[in-house]
Copies of this chain bind each other. A is one copy, B any other.
Amino acid sequence: MHDSDSIGIVTPQRIHFDTPLSLESGAVLDSYEQVYETYGELNAARSNAVLVCHALSGNHHVAGVYADNPKNIGWWNNMIGPDKPIDTRKFFVVGVNNIGGCHGSTGPASINKKMGKHYGADFPVVTTIDWAKTYVRLADKLGIDQFAAVVGGSLGGMSAMQLALDAPERVRHAVVIAAAAKLTAQNIAFNDVARQAIITDPDFHGGDFYSHGTIPRRGLRLARMLGHITYLSNDSMAEKFGRELRTDSLSFNFDVEFQIESYLRYQGDKFADQFDANTYLLMTKALDYFDPARDYDDDLSAAFHCAKANFLVLSFSSDWRFSPERSRSIVKALLDNKLNVSYAEIPSRHGHDSFLMKDEHYHQLVRAYMNKIST
């Protein structure tokens, strides 16, 4: 299963934070656990740390494998490792699971010790602003004054941007991939359909499905099926599935007729078994709320006035979820602030999911940028 240049076995770590965390919503999280992984070695100057932020369904397991489950390979294993574009011989890479998540950090499926039961619907809405605060706290614990780089794709790219805005002294470079400065009405619309699918599933029980011994499988499955459509491009779907039938002839019923239906239903089923529905809701809301220009009269250039980092911004030609145009608006705002920005629009047929894929051009760009970062 491993690439020859894989990190190999990695182990998640956990820190308990008991200083209350004030959230953007006004709610306060009295304490929380943050799960993370690290790869490579922090250098003596503590200047080579790279934070990797995850997207909607990602987590802290960014690269390598687990000793007890060698099939569980990190979601960005093609990008991070020895001699890979983010080279763990040079960098000390930190992967983190956002609070609100469902892979170890405190989230809706965690036990609320005050209540003696799962947080469920009581878990507060969290935003990229809240996560940026947790990244700073984690950096403090790890003795990292400044990240050499903060890197992420999609919601992870937005989280990286947020940290660069909110803690400019803590970020030397920000690598923002397949992201946008805010969601469009259409982006929000897709998110809301996904949320409504979950929330109206009778097994959701207002978010407290844990205590009912159920999961809102139907809703989560639909949400994931829908999500998948937006992650792929029209062209890549056409190439991969076309109108191929599952069997030789048309069956004229509501079973799977075309391969694309089979694929989507399979993806939906698999996801519904693995992911927490409340976390799905929270992550889509974090996307909706991300909007650094909100407090600046919708002026993104004004919103970036505090930023100090150097930026690499990357977009993919076939990404219709967060199109290249959206990345260019980020680049413009950065240039308006006379920040150092490198930008590339990468030709790709794989849509939004391109940021997760191994593409020579894409990986060379990241590699070249990361190589020139001094540590």
Contacts and interface: CB of A to CB of B under 8 A. Distances in A.
Contact of A250 (B199, B200, B289): B289
A363 interface: no
A200 B188 contact: no
Given A186-B229, A189-B229, A202 B202 contact: yes
Interface stretch (A58-66, A108-116, A162-170, A254-262): A254-262
A237 interface: yes
Interface residues of A, number: 54
Consensus secondary structure, chain A interface:
helix
A225 B196 contact: yes
A307 to B, nearest CB: 22
A211 interface: no
Contacts of A133: none
Contact of A26 (B221, B252, B268, B281): B252
Given A185-B260, A188-B261, A238-B186, A222 B196 contact: yes
A344 interface: no
B192 A261 contact: yes
B234 A186 contact: yes
Interface of A: 24-27, 124-125, 182-186, 188-190, 192-193, 195-197, 199-202, 218, 221-222, 225-226, 228-229, 232, 234, 237-238, 240-243, 250, 252-254, 257-258, 260-261, 264-265, 268, 281, 285, 288-289, 291
18 contacts: A183-B243, A184-B237, A184-B238, A185-B240, A185-B243, A188-B243, A189-B229, A189-B261, A190-B229, A192-B261, A193-B229, A193-B264, A195-B254, A197-B197, A197-B222, A201-B218, A243-B291, A252-B285
Q: Which 6 A-B pairs have the closest CB atoms?
A: A25-B252, A185-B237, A125-B252, A185-B241, A185-B260, A200-B218
